[in-house]
Structure 1
Amino acid sequence: MPLRPGTPARTEVAVPGAVCLVAVTALLLLVPAVQADPEAGAGVPQPGSAAWWSGIAVVVAQALVLARRRAHPRLVLGLVAAGVPVAALAGLGEVIGTTSVAVLVAAYTATVVEAVRRTAPALGLAAVLVGVGTLIAQPADGAPILVQLGAPLAQALGIVVLPASAGVVVGSRREAAQARARQVEALSREHGARVEAAVARERAAMARELHDIAAHHLSGIAVMTGAIGRQIDVDPAAAKVAVQRVRAETSAMLEELRTLVRLLRDAPEDTERPVEALAAVPALVERARAAGVDATLTVLGSPAEQWGAVGPLAQLAAFRTVQECLANVVRHAPGARCEVVLDAKDPAVFRVSVVNGPPPAPVAPLEAGLDARPGGGLGLVGMQERADLTDALLHYGPEPGGGWRVTLGVPTQREAEAPRPSARVDGAAG
């Protein structure tokens, strides 16, 4: 039997015991009062009589049945109400009201535990039983029919309907409080889910930044240290120059990491170094050339005129794309020629392309200390995520004659363009 949410379904002894105590005490107290006025107590059973003991037995039975009022509220209501006509037939007479205490409790509990539409038949049956019991115990012989029925009807309303109405009010308030509690809990769970999603997005952004910074600089450092190992004995002067380049590359990586930490701390007074933008791409290519990459820069159109139409997040995405592509050349195609193209001929889209040829010699990843397996990194994943965040279009894939091409198209009028699907190539190097 479904109970209202939050209603305990356990046996309670305190209330049935109290009901039994009240009813028995009433029977015991009424007897001396009636004995003091025998004419007024003509309808009251004498102590020790069969009717008197029958009344005691009925109220005790009602109290025992009430112990299960929350588990079976409608059944209990019908049983305790049936005790009223039973006591009336046993001759309880004028003190029939002592059997109504249990009916009051059962009617209230039934409407608190269950919805009123489910308990309505049981309430109607209880009212009829109480009315019949009152009519048997207190007959109004010779009175008009309306008078004879009026007293039992009033007794039934007072004993069944009034406590049931109070139970409906209490149950409704309880359900409203529980609904508010469930709503608060749902809002709390929703807030927690949003916080977790935001944290996940921030973690992904941090991972992209760390990968782009570390992969670019560490790839160059790995190549230069490999050259130092070969030059240190045969060309010490060149080895010293390479060491200075390693030091410069390390300093640049540390500075970028410091900038990232400042941004994560959200301390405006510390963010003196600007976030990388398209204007920094030429310097990025120069650093790659200084690290030994055969890189060139080609400019088509007037990029500076379009830089203002590209948002800072999109400019950072373009910068990181070029940075990652140069790092991939060092990692997967050392010695290959690489060309960076800034194409500003289309006023609606600013395109950044990085094209490299095949490596002049087979790559030995274990000797270089690098993982050159196709698809073994997260570079292209980070590029794609940045492109998705800025509504840019990313293309990448192998060139017909060998090598690799990456093209990023950044819209300069983002509000006029809808997000477009990205073109990916399986098995790409990262």
Structure 2
Amino acid sequence: MSAWPLSPTRTASTAEIVAAGVCGALAIGSLLALPLLAAAEPDEGIVAVSPADAAWWIVAALILVEAVALLWARRASGKVLVAVALVPLVHAIAVPGATFSLTTIAVSFGVCWAVLREPLRRLRVVLPVVVLLVAGSQTINDVRSGAALDIATITAASLQALAVVGIPLAIGLVLAARKDARVARGKELLALKREGDALIQAAVSRERMAMSRELHDIAAHHMSGIALLASAIYRQVDADPEAAKLAAQQVRAQSTTVLDDLRRVIGLLRDESESSRSVETLAAVHELVELRRSAGTEVELVLFTAEHELGAGVGPLGQLVAYRMVQESLANAAAHAPGANCVVEIDDRDPAHLSVLVQNDGAHAPDLGPGGGFGLIGMRERAELVAAELHHGPTQDGGWEVHLMLARDTTIEDLAEEPT
């Protein structure tokens, strides 16, 4: 059995101090008001008790003892409740009279506090004991005050004891149930958030692992062959020019095979059920926009191009990243800002970079939740894969935009100088 602390302030919280203070103030205030009540209604049989009487100080001391005991309510609710319930018995024996009911105020506070702090099953013995103590104390007080010891007196005392314990018990159970519901709801929300974060991290990890594994296998297989052929070309370029030309053609064929395998791998990573599909490119953005228009979304496609093929110099993986960014951005706009007007802008004029911007206006304020948040994470993961820059955020008019800057693998000038 653990010992009680020497000082209640070591364990008493603000709630315990406030409860004890309110209980003591209420009882002392009622004790002070009794002489005024007796003077106002002398026919009610209320005995005037004033600070001039020793009984008044005894009752005040008992009330203070109860108030101080409540400061330990959190540490030992059941023990404190029984101790507080013994005080009315002391009152009934020492100074019986109309002030008896003032000592039952702390009992009601103690019951409510015990129910809030302890499960009801732990109080299954304490509560009946408290009822018996209050009923017995009330009976003794009534008998010593002049009432006859009969069934009526015992019944009245029992009913009063049930009221003293039952009413705060019901209030405490309601408050405890509401508290448990709030705690359970908070834990549920926290668990859902953690589960969502875990699913996002698991999805990102699987995506990274699949990409790194497949890309490593392809690169290791083909690039090792290309390195050997390049070494042969270096040795044969003077001694055997024809063999060097043949090796150069083989390097070109190996490079083409690498690109084809990369296209197939990216397709597998994005949809395992369509292993033979081709990788979407910037040229397919027009079809994507038309598909969104047919679904009811107002989408405008703006192209700024020069005298070259759209996306020239941007590798297939980079073009896939741009396509997926547009696709995800339009999907997010439809989900979080339905009815907003969208603009897809592709600027292909910079010789070194390609810019892709997706923007929706502020006519329909974007709703950022609820949502898993994986769309933006996926965009950033893809952008980092091709060393691109991705920026997203609200616009000045209250809309939302996503901006992707892709570096070209080959500049436009170098493409123009390549022999056809």
What is the TM-score when the length of structure 2 is the normalising length?
0.56
CA contact (8 A) 2:55 2:95 kept: yes
5 Å-filtered alignment, 1:260-339, equals 260-261=265-266, 273=278
Distance 1:197 1:188 in 2: 14
Distance 2:129 2:175 in 1: 22
1:138 partner amino acid: D
1:208 partner amino acid: R
1:237 partner amino acid: E
Q: 1:164 aligns with which of 154, 166, 169?
A: 169
Question: Which residue in 1 is equivalent to 2:86?
Answer: 82
Residue 118 of structure 1: CA displacement? 1.1
Distance 2:222 2:240 in 1: 24
1:211 partner amino acid: H
Question: Which residue in 2 is equivalent to 1:150?
Answer: 155
Report the RMSD for the aligned CA atoms in angstroms.
3.2
Question: Which residue in 1 is equivalent to 2:340?
Answer: none
In structure 2, relative to structure 1, the CA distance for the partners of 1:59 and 1:262 (3 Å cut) is same
Residue 240 (structure 1) aligned with residue 245 (structure 2): yes
Question: Which residue in 2 is equivalent to 1:294?
Answer: none
Distance 1:64 1:93 in 2: 23
In structure 2, relative to structure 1, the CA distance for the partners of 1:108 and 1:254 (3 Å cut) is same
CA contact (8 A) 1:59 1:99 kept: yes
3-state SS in 1 of match to 2:125:
helix
- The number of equivalent residue pairs is 267
CA contact (8 A) 1:44 1:93 kept: no
3-state SS in 2 of match to 1:71:
coil
Question: Which residue in 1 is equivalent to 2:117?
Answer: 113
Higher relative contact order (CA 8 A, sep 6+): 1
In structure 2, relative to structure 1, the CA distance for the partners of 1:192 and 1:143 (3 Å cut) is same
CA contact (8 A) 2:264 2:278 kept: yes
2:63 partner amino acid: V
In structure 2, relative to structure 1, the CA distance for the partners of 1:183 and 1:37 (3 Å cut) is closer
CA contact (8 A) 2:266 2:279 kept: no
| 1:108-154 Cα distance to aligned partner (Å, 9 max, x none) | 11112112121122112221222222223222756461111022111
CA contact (8 A) 1:62 1:102 kept: yes
Residue 182 (structure 1) aligned with residue 171 (structure 2): no
Distance 2:45 2:142 in 1: 13
In structure 2, relative to structure 1, the CA distance for the partners of 1:142 and 1:42 (3 Å cut) is closer
Tell me, which stretches of 5 or more residues in structure 1 are unaligned?
A: 2-7, 276-430
Residue 37 of structure 1: CA displacement? 5.2
Residue 32 (structure 1) aligned with residue 36 (structure 2): yes
Question: Which residue in 2 is equivalent to 1:136?
Answer: 140
Question: Which residue in 1 is equivalent to 2:211?
Answer: 206
In structure 2, relative to structure 1, the CA distance for the partners of 1:229 and 1:111 (3 Å cut) is same
In structure 2, relative to structure 1, the CA distance for the partners of 1:167 and 1:192 (3 Å cut) is same
* Identical residues among aligned pairs (%): 38
Distance 2:167 2:37 in 1: 29
| 1:147-206 Cα distance to aligned partner (Å, 9 max, x none) | 110221111011112211322233234334433443444444444444444333333321
Residue 61 of structure 1: CA displacement? 1.4
Residue 51 (structure 1) aligned with residue 38 (structure 2): no
2:136 partner amino acid: V
Structure number with bigger Rg = 1
Question: Which residue in 1 is equivalent to 2:72?
Answer: 68
| 1:278-330 Cα distance to aligned partner (Å, 9 max, x none) | xxxxxxxxxxxxxxxxxxxxxxxxxxxxxxxxxxxxxxxxxxxxxxxxxxxxx
| 1:16-58 Cα distance to aligned partner (Å, 9 max, x none) | 1111111111111111221455564564433321110011111
Question: Which residue in 1 is equivalent to 2:98?
Answer: 94
| 1:246-269 Cα distance to aligned partner (Å, 9 max, x none) | 234224424543555576678xxx
Residue 229 of structure 1: CA displacement? 2.2
Distance 1:39 1:30 in 2: 14
In structure 2, relative to structure 1, the CA distance for the partners of 1:256 and 1:40 (3 Å cut) is same
2:33 partner amino acid: L
CA contact (8 A) 1:89 1:137 kept: yes
In structure 2, relative to structure 1, the CA distance for the partners of 1:152 and 1:52 (3 Å cut) is same
Distance 1:136 1:52 in 2: 19
What is the TM-score when the length of structure 1 is the normalising length?
0.55
Question: Which residue in 2 is equivalent to 1:249?
Answer: 254
Question: Which residue in 2 is equivalent to 1:10?
Answer: 13
Distance 2:188 2:40 in 1: 62
